[in-house]
Structure formats: structure tokens, C-alpha cells
Amino acid sequence: MSGEGVRERIERSWPELSPVERQIAQLLLDRADDDLAAWTTTELADAAGASKASVSRFVRRLGFGSFAQARTAARSLRARGVPTGGLPATPAGPAALHVEHDTANLVRTADALARVDLQACARLVARARRVLVLGWRNSFPVALHLREQLLQARPDVALGPQPGQTVAEEFADLGPRDAVVLVAFRRRTPHAAAAVRLAHAQAVPLVLFTDPAAGPTAAPVAHRFEVPVDGPGAFDSYAAAMTAAAVLAEGVLAARGSAGRDRVHAVGRAHRDLGELESP
């Protein structure tokens, strides 16, 4: 039960709730805002037309020792990337709230990138014999986007896992002359830590894209980029993550020099010959 969100606890406890407790529960359900971290006891009581004592009884009915414990549990779920609430009401509207939040995340990302050796990382990826880009769950779209950008600058960039694919076949022949780029944002699967350990065992340099809340890695990594992905509402935002991927790809293209420019021109010619893209 400790991993449940408030919504799941409400649904499980609904038959035992009193009429007043159901008022409180319905408020949370109707607002799509089961993140108690957004409320104080007084605010929730006032919004539900209940007393603070009723709110206290309600959270105990859900299995929490106190309202403070419920808020702590909600914060813990949100920190792990679990969708736990909707957007707060704002006169500017939801789009403006997302833009404001993503702008703040981009500023934080720029500060984080300024603290790492981006040029050394770009040189590593540019000069590697082969590059394997990995990402599971929500990290996969970022990994896919990064791989497609890296392919503009250099050949031999693989992506995993593909649908129905295991990644052992991609890993088996990697060594010190290659590189792994692991995209592992929160709500990580155990595969991410296993990839770090295997890369270390095979002496493959590894670049890690993760979020600031991530703990220590299972083994040392060559380069670590911490990019915020928290959103203003229930779901994470990957605007800053996509920007960080673009920054690395730009660095790799620059590090490749004339070889990178030749690659871009060759890809462009192939697009034209295949008729894959619309003409401007």
C-alpha cells in the first residue's frame, strides 16, 4: 500500500468513507488533483466544505498516520515521476504555465551543462568507433531523437532497445574504443543500472543523461548530464532533455570537423536521391 497514490487509496476505501469524507475525496477526484502535497489541511477543508478534523480523519482512513505523512508520501511519489495531480489553476492558462516552467528548466539545464566538460564528451562520441544509444520507457523518445541527430554527424550509431529487441547483441562487441550514451530519466527500469555495470565491466566509456534526483550510478561513468524533467502538473516535461540532446549532437558535429560536414552533405544527397523529404 505504501506505493499507492491517493486516488488508488480513495477508490479502495470508498465504501468505508463517511459522507463528509466522500466530499473531500470527490473534490480530489473531480479536480484530477490527488497530489496532497499541493494542499494544506485548512485549504483542503475549506475547499471541500469540511472541518480540519474531518480532513484528518479522512487521511487516516486512507491509511496515513497524519496529513503531514500524506503530503510526504505524495511528494515522494511525485519525485519519482509518478503522475499525481493536475495543473494548478492560473489566469494565464495551462499553456503559459508549461512555457514558464519549461523556460525555468532550460535555464537550470544551461547551468548544469556549464559545469561539465561538454567538449570532452562531444569528442568522445565523435571519435568512438561505434556508439550505442540506450533508453527505456519515457527516456526512449529522447534516445531516439539523439540517435537521429548523431547520425547526421557520424556513422555507426545504434539505438536500443528496438521493439522486440534485447540489447545484449548490441553490447557484446563493444569495447574501450566505443561509447554508450544512456538516457535514463526518472522512473528508471533496472536495465539502466545493468547497462552502466556492463559498460564498466567491458571498459566502454559511458555518457549518462539523467535527472537531478537520480542517485549514484551503479559504476563510474565518463560523463554525467543532469537535466530537470519535472513538469508543472501531473506529467514530466522533456523539453529541456531534448535541448540537451541537441547540444550534445551539435558538439559532436563540431568535433567531427570536415568529416562531419561531409557526412551532412552525403546524407542530404541520399535524401534527395531517395525522395524521402519534401522539397522546401
Tell me, what amino acid is at 90? T
Q: Which helix (H) or strand (E) holds 271?
A: helix 239-274
pLDDT of amino acid 27 = 78
- Tens digits of per-residue pLDDT, 202-234? 999 999 999 887 878 889 999 999 998 877 766
In 3D space, the residue among 36, 73, 97 whose CA is nearest the CA of residue 231 turns out to be 97
More confident residue, 81 or 110: 110
Q: Could you say which architecture CATH assigns to the domain 111-274?
A: 3-Layer(aba) Sandwich (3.40)
Q: What fold is seen in the domain 6-79?
A: Arc Repressor Mutant, subunit A (1.10.10)
Q: 92 pLDDT band (50/70/90 cuts)?
A: low
- Whether residue 178 contacts residue 128, with contact meaning beta carbons closer than 8 Å, is answered with yes
Burial class (CB in 10 A: 0-12, 13-18, 19+), 135: buried
Residue 103 has pLDDT above 80, yes or no: yes
Residue 143 has pLDDT above 50, yes or no: yes
- Tens digits of per-residue pLDDT, 10-36? 767 887 888 888 888 877 766 544 456
**Sequence ranges of the chain with CATH classification 3.40.50.10490:** 111-274
More confident residue, 187 or 85: 187
Report the chain's C-alpha Rg in angstroms.
Answer: 23
pLDDT of amino acid 1 = 45
Q: 102 pLDDT band (50/70/90 cuts)?
A: confident
**Sequence ranges of the chain with CATH classification 1.10.10.10:** 6-79
Residues in Cβ contact with 60 at an 8 Å cutoff, skipping those fewer than 6 apart: 66
- Whether residue 200 contacts residue 185, with contact meaning beta carbons closer than 8 Å, is answered with no
* Torsion angle defined by CA atoms of residues 128, 129, 135 and 136, in that order, rounded to the nearest 10 degrees: -150
Mean pLDDT calculated for residue range 111-116: 89
